Each structure stands twice: as C-alpha cells, then as structure tokens.
Amino acid sequence: MARGLDHVVHAVRDLEAAGELYDTLGFTVGSRNRHPWGTDNRLVQTPGFFVELLEIAQPEVIPPHEGTQFSFGAFNRDFLAEVGPGLSMLVLEGGDPAVEKAEFDEAGFGGLDQFDFARQGKRPDGSEVEVSFSLAFARDPASPHAGFFTSLQHMPENFWAPDLQRHMNGTARVAGVVLTAEEPAAHVEFLSVFADTSFRRAVEGWHIAKTPRGDIDLMSPALFTDRFGAAAPAGPGLRVAAIRFAVTDIEKLRKRLSSSRMAAEEIEGLVVVGPKAALGATLAFEEAR
C-alpha cells in the first residue's frame, strides 16, 4: 500500500530565524523541542503532515555514522556544511518498521538499522508530553544530499495538535513534495520502492506518484525552474526541492505575503516563495481542490 507523506526536514542554521520566517509566511509554528543526539526542532503541522525545522544545537553530542547505524544528527550537520540550508530529508508514513526495513534491504536500498526513540514534546498550552517513533531508513546510493525514512508514531494523540494546524495564510493540508535530479528516470525504481507505489511519466523528465497524503513529483532541474520559477537545488542524485501546500483561499495568502513584504512569484496558479527568501527551500501554495 502506498505510503503517505509524513514530513519534510528543513535544515537551518538558526532555528529561531526559521521560525520567524514561517511565522511571517502565516504559519503557526510550534515551540522548540530537543533531540538527545544534538539537534533541536520546531514543527509546522498540517493534518497528518509537518515541516520539521531543524537546527544543529549541540554538535559535540552528535553521534557518528557507525556501520549500519544511521546518524540523523550527523546527516543534517553534514548537509548544512556541504550544501547549506534547505530541504534535507523526505519522510513517509510508516507501518511495521521491521517489514519496511526488510523491503528496503531486499530491494538493495536499505542495509541500515531500525531506529526507535522517544522525546519530550510540548502541547500548545505548554504542558509536556512524550512522543515516540520507530524509523526505517532507505537510501539511494547516488543521492548523498537527500535522506529518506519511514516513521511510525506510537503516541500520535500526544503529537498532533489541531491548534497548531490553524494557519493565518489559509493552509489546509500538504499537496505534495517535489524532488529533482539531473536524470529523473534513474531514480524512479528507488522512489517506487520507498513510497511503495508506481510513478507515471507525465512528460520526458517528469514522473508523478499519488500517495494517500499528497503527491511526489520527480523532475529535472530545467522543468522545475519552468514550473516554479526558482533554481533547483544543485548536487548529485536526488534533492528534495519543494513543498506544495493547499490553501483554502489563495487571495488570503496573497494578502498575507503582501503585508509582510515577502518576496513571492505567481506562476500558473501557484504562489511561490523561492529558496533565496525561504532559507534554501521552495515553498509553493495552490488553491485547495
């Protein structure tokens, strides 16, 4: 069964500045949380999906990659050092992590240990709760600057907060994510295994998959620039290039961006905030259907 979008990691150097950016865009941004492996985050929730704003807060405690153990902190630290702020990881909704790990291993896209962890989180009222996750990692060997894993939440009632899913810009849900690669067709097999669904070819250099929560678009950098009016992230293999948000009232979004003097461009029904304004990410807004 196809795996729906769960979240995207937006790696940044200054978590508070990133929170201010998303607040200026009209999003409700959650409070700071701490991981035990040296990273802090703040979350922007929509129903069933979130953006994880991530900062390297304690570089001295980040564990290294070791054998088959994947280090989330080390990956994002290296991402920031090598390419700068931007969208570093795509995460899909997980089921049984042991089964998913076995699927990735069998297809030749795994080989990494399952990872289970818990941390403290805060509700909008400031009260503390525990949240817990199990992760199964997949990897495309040709894509050093894009991370992929599935995530199973063990206490979703402690994680999701309707108050954090109400946004002044009218965002109602995630519409999709966009990945880029110089040779998109070379990565279709990996993404099909990761998402557990097939991709259809829209045009040469553009492949699309539907998931239970949002689309996954894979396109060439040239097509990405034509569609979104922004430069695609550079680098070998796959890159997570953009998040598409569905908004209930596109005019409300336009007014929000105009009042905040946020640089945005309109292209064929999309309102796009490009990577120069959005800390290396492309954020695209479209009318909810």
Q: How many domains does the chain have?
A: 2
Residues making up the chain, counted from first to last? 289
Question: Are both 195 and 221 inside the same structural domain?
Answer: yes
135: nearest Cα among 124, 147, 127, 125: 147
- Helix, strand or coil, per DSSP, at residue 284: strand
Question: Are both 147 and 11 inside the same structural domain?
Answer: yes
The enclosing domain of 248 has a CATH number of: 3.10.180.10
Question: Are both 248 and 116 inside the same structural domain?
Answer: no
Q: What is the DSSP string of 222-249?
A: HHHHHHHSSPPPPSSS-EEEEEEEEES-
Question: Are both 159 and 133 inside the same structural domain?
Answer: yes
pTM over 0.95: yes
- From the CB of residue 135, how many other CB atoms can be counted at a distance below 10 Å? 21
The pLDDT value given to residue 195? 98
Helices (H) and strands (E) in the chain, counts: 7, 16
Question: Are both 226 and 159 inside the same structural domain?
Answer: no
Encode burial over 33-52: b for 16+ CB neighbours within 10 A, e otherwise: bebeebbbbbbbbbebbbbb
Question: Are both 137 and 218 inside the same structural domain?
Answer: no
The pLDDT value given to residue 124? 76
Question: Are both 159 and 208 inside the same structural domain?
Answer: no
Amino acid at 96: D
Q: Give the orientation angle of helix 97-107 with respect to helix 188-195, to 10 degrees.
A: 160
Question: Are both 34 and 144 inside the same structural domain?
Answer: yes
pLDDT by position in tens, the chain (length 289): 899 999 999 999 999 999 999 999 999 999 999 999 999 999 999 999 999 999 999 999 999 999 999 999 999 999 999 999 999 999 999 999 999 999 999 999 999 999 998 888 777 777 888 899 999 999 999 999 999 999 999 999 999 999 999 999 999 999 999 999 999 999 999 999 999 999 999 999 999 999 999 999 999 999 999 999 999 999 899 999 999 999 999 999 999 999 888 989 999 999 999 999 999 999 999 999 8
Question: Are both 182 and 265 inside the same structural domain?
Answer: yes
Question: Are both 103 and 189 inside the same structural domain?
Answer: no
The pLDDT value given to residue 20? 97
- From the CB of residue 105, how many other CB atoms can be counted at a distance below 10 Å? 14
Among residues 131, 149, 164, which one ends one of the domains? 164
Among residues 164, 183, 214, which one ends one of the domains? 164
Question: Are both 160 and 177 inside the same structural domain?
Answer: no
Among residues 132, 164, 196, which one ends one of the domains? 164
Range of the domain at 255: 169-287
247: nearest Cα among 265, 272, 274: 272
The pLDDT value given to residue 90? 98
- Which residue shows structure tokens 């997570």? 240
Question: Are both 105 and 177 inside the same structural domain?
Answer: no
The pLDDT value given to residue 37? 93
